[in-house]
Amino acid sequence: MNLATKARAYIRLGWRSLLDVGLYRAGLKTGLHPVLKIVPVVLVKGDFFIASNRSGPLPAPTPVWQDQPWAFGKACGAPSDDPPDWHANILTGSRVKDVKKRWDKVSVFSADIGDIKAVWEPSRFDWVIAFAQNAALGKSGAMDKLNRWLTDWTEHNPAYNGPNWICGQEASIRTAHLVLAAILLGNEDTLSAPLESLLLQHLRRIAPTIAYARGQDNNHATSEAMALYAGGLWISRCCADNDRRAEALKYMQAGQALAENRVRALILNDGGFAQYSHVYHRLMLDSLSVMELVRRAFGAPDFSAEFVRKAASASEWLRFFTEPVNGEVPNMGSNDGAWLLPIGPGRSRDFRPSCALASTLFEGKTAFSETASASALLQWLSIRSGTPIGVEVAPPVRLFAESAIAAISSGDWRIYMRLPGTKFRPHQADALHLDVWRGGSNLLCDAGTYSYAETGWEYFSSTAAHNTIEFDGRDQMPRVGRFLYGEWLRREEVHIDGQADQPSIVSSYTDFQGVRHIRKVAVVGDSITITDTVKGRFRTAKIRWRKNHSSVRISTASDAVDYVKESGPSSLYYMSKKYILILVGTLSRNGTIVTKVTVDIGKSA
């Protein structure tokens, strides 16, 4: 790796981020970081939750963790009433060896266990949501099962030892689900001694590392802010011990300050989020919604006007990209399957419930209120719907300049182009990638993410995994680290034409090797025309079209391009993949490729 490239990448991250992350890592290495000196809370024995106070009819519960394990939005494993092995990879059964070591001594990237996220998944406490809903519905044995599993988790995960204490965000997601379970049960005004001690155990783990979370400029800080605020507010209002109430109040204040800071810094002016990911955008937005939900439950002071304004903008952004017919969104950017609100009968890929909740809380009106999954979430959380947001007519072309996406909406077509040039670090080498949709179906797709650690993880973020052009078998930017590219691309131009009969987008970049790619996308009648021009010194330019549906038809009139059919992986859910058809064309000189995309009307899209 060129040292100058690496240096430029770190400089682009910003001095504050480098300082936050550097101090954290130095503190762990020297053993001086405050997080290594926290005193565990002595857990009180007994039931964590009590009988539900909910009354009246309630919707169906979540499908998650009903009689069998779930991971990354899908059911997995054999049915069982017993708790899972908290230290095993839920997909493979491989166990972490160092479960008794302090969390910072446990390896995150270990070939023995595979992706650590598959170990963390059961400890995100999605099952707490499921069992609480079942208990609220009066299902026999549900409350006993909820308390029994929580007791088992605490016995096998003593404070700050083992893999499930490694990450502050994982502790934050657990905290959120414990708070949400109380709301689902109608018991938010009651806090048992065992649950209070478990929550404090988590807040003490999260609080010392918020500077590290802030330094990453991603969803970690918004998740941790949410946990500190929600958990701290609940304890400060319901705990009888003055010392603990004072401690909890400090956590609440720290969480609110962190959230205000991160909302201001990371939600872009066009409503997008710093990670340029639809899934992580939802996680951020759901975290803000939980904060507002808890704030209202306890009548705490309002968040700032800027907080509400930016949250509303982020809500509108996600709604724009959500397909009304099924709740799907483009699988662009990093996707680890994060789903903070598995409540009601929705699916992890149905984004309408999150849009409904955020729009109701921050915009005062409700999106997708007519859909069962959205209305069920609101009912479970005791949120009254606002004025319904009807069908919103999208403009022919919409530019999200800071979010680095341009969109065409024409008839049944929805086309998204990933633009080069970002303020925050790019996580995928996907400049000028096209995601093509029709009638709610993703016809030409992104490869997704699959894993951050399994063999072959690099492919999914590479240029070759996208509907764009790859030069000489390399990425558009050199990889500096697992989550960092160097030589960030600059956006040379972007032109949009909003003519209703022929909307179009043009954008371009020149990469670190001096090769230029210009792409124009236009809807002409009932087809899409893509014009790609390449200039510079290269041996081969490969254009790829990842066909996600048999109805899509791709044709070209260029004699200079040789096309072959290949098979390649596609991952809609983390740690899950299938193989799809990829049409690959090769150009060996400067020139222009004109591609036409149509849909076979004889086959359903």
In a domain, 405, yes or no: yes
The dihedrals phi and psi of 273, each to the nearest 5 degrees, come to -125, 155
Question: Do 496 and 555 have their domain in common?
Answer: yes
Q: How far apart are the first and last CA of the chain?
A: 44
Question: For residue 603, what pLDDT is reported?
Answer: 53
Domain boundary among 166, 182, 215: 166
Domain boundary among 102, 136, 166: 166
Q: Residue 464 above 80 pLDDT?
A: yes
- Helix ranges restricted to H, 60-192: 117-120, 126-136, 142-156, 168-185
Read off the pLDDT of residues 385-435 as tens digits, 9 standing for 90 and up: 999 998 888 999 999 999 999 999 999 999 999 999 999 999 999 999 999
Q: What does the longest C-alpha to C-alpha distance in the chain come to?
A: 79
CA pair distance 210, 391, nearest whole angstrom: 40
Question: Do 525 and 447 have their domain in common?
Answer: yes
Question: For residue 83, what pLDDT is reported?
Answer: 97
Q: Name every residue whose Cβ is closer than 8 Å to that of residue 30 and which is 6 or more positions away in sequence.
A: none
Burial tier of 260 (Cβ tally within 10 Å: 0-12, 13-18, 19+): middle
**Confidence at 558, pLDDT banded by 50, 70, 90:** confident
Please give the distance of CA 315 from its chain centroid, rounded to a whole number. Answer: 14
Question: For residue 56, what pLDDT is reported?
Answer: 87
CA pair distance 5, 22, nearest whole angstrom: 19
Share of residues in the chain with pLDDT > 90 (%): 88
Angle between helices 168-185 and 126-136 (to 10 degrees): 0
Residue 95 domain boundaries: 64-166
Read off the pLDDT of residues 218-239 as tens digits, 9 standing for 90 and up: 999 999 999 999 999 999 999 9
Q: Residue 87 above 60 pLDDT?
A: yes
Domain boundary among 142, 166, 190: 166
In a domain, 117, yes or no: yes
Q: What is the mean pLDDT of residues 9-36?
A: 93
Read off the pLDDT of residues 426-462 as tens digits, 9 standing for 90 and up: 999 999 999 999 989 999 999 999 999 898 999 999 9
Q: Residues for the chain: how many in total? A: 605
- Helix ranges restricted to H, 393-544: 457-461
CB 373 within 8 A of CB 360: no
Q: Residue 602 above 60 pLDDT?
A: no
**Confidence at 57, pLDDT banded by 50, 70, 90:** very high
CA distances from 409 to 121, 303, 396, 436 (A): 37, 35, 5, 11
* 591 φψ region: left (φ > 0), alpha (ψ -120 to 50), beta (else): left
How does DSSP assign 157-201, residue by residue? S-TTBSGGGS-HHHHHHHHHHHHHHHHHHT-TT---HHHHHHHHH
Q: Degrees (nearest 5) of the Cα angle 340, 436, 489?
A: 80
**Confidence at 108, pLDDT banded by 50, 70, 90:** confident
Q: What is the mean pLDDT of residues 148-158?
A: 98
Question: Do 88 and 29 have their domain in common?
Answer: no
Question: Do 556 and 473 have their domain in common?
Answer: yes
Q: Name every residue whose Cβ is closer than 8 Å to that of residue 340 and which is 6 or more positions away in sequence.
A: 173, 176, 223, 282, 283, 286, 287, 290
Predicted TM-score (pTM) of this structure: 0.96
In a domain, 249, yes or no: no
In a domain, 520, yes or no: yes
Beta bridge partners of 409: 414
CA pair distance 53, 565, nearest whole angstrom: 59
Question: Do 29 and 76 have their domain in common?
Answer: no
Dihedral of CA 161/164/166/170: which sign?
Answer: negative
Question: Do 12 and 127 have their domain in common?
Answer: no
Question: Do 18 and 120 have their domain in common?
Answer: no
In a domain, 300, yes or no: no
Question: Do 465 and 510 have their domain in common?
Answer: yes
CA pair distance 119, 425, nearest whole angstrom: 27
Question: For residue 132, what pLDDT is reported?
Answer: 98
Specify the number of domains making up the chain.
Answer: 3
Read off the pLDDT of residues 313-345 as tens digits, 9 standing for 90 and up: 999 999 999 999 999 999 999 999 999 999 988
Question: Do 440 and 535 have their domain in common?
Answer: yes
**Confidence at 601, pLDDT banded by 50, 70, 90:** low
Q: What is the mean pLDDT of residues 562-582?
A: 95
Q: Degrees (nearest 5) of the Cα angle 244, 249, 251?
A: 100
Q: Residue 604 above 50 pLDDT?
A: no
Question: Do 10 and 120 have their domain in common?
Answer: no
CA pair distance 309, 314, nearest whole angstrom: 9
Question: Do 9 and 99 have their domain in common?
Answer: no
CB 490 within 8 A of CB 509: yes
Q: What is the mean pLDDT of the chain?
A: 95
The dihedrals phi and psi of 276, each to the nearest 5 degrees, come to 55, 45
In a domain, 413, yes or no: yes
Question: For residue 392, what pLDDT is reported?
Answer: 85
Structure token pair of residue 142: 């549900």
User: What is the domain-level CATH number for residue 446?
Assistant: 2.70.98.70
Question: Do 9 and 83 have their domain in common?
Answer: no
CB 447 within 8 A of CB 342: no
In a domain, 217, yes or no: no
Q: Residue 474 above 90 pLDDT?
A: yes
Q: What is the mean pLDDT of residues 40-67?
A: 94
Nearest to 374 by CA among 385, 363, 365: 385
Q: Name every residue whose Cβ is closer than 8 Å to that of residue 131 and which is 6 or more positions away in sequence.
A: 65, 142, 143, 145, 146, 149, 181
Q: What is the mean pLDDT of residues 6-28?
A: 91
In a domain, 173, yes or no: no
Q: Residue 560 above 90 pLDDT?
A: no
Supply the DSSP symbol for 110. Answer: B
**Confidence at 605, pLDDT banded by 50, 70, 90:** very low
For 493-508, the three-class secondary structure string (H helix, E strand, C coil) is EEEEECCCCCCEEEEE
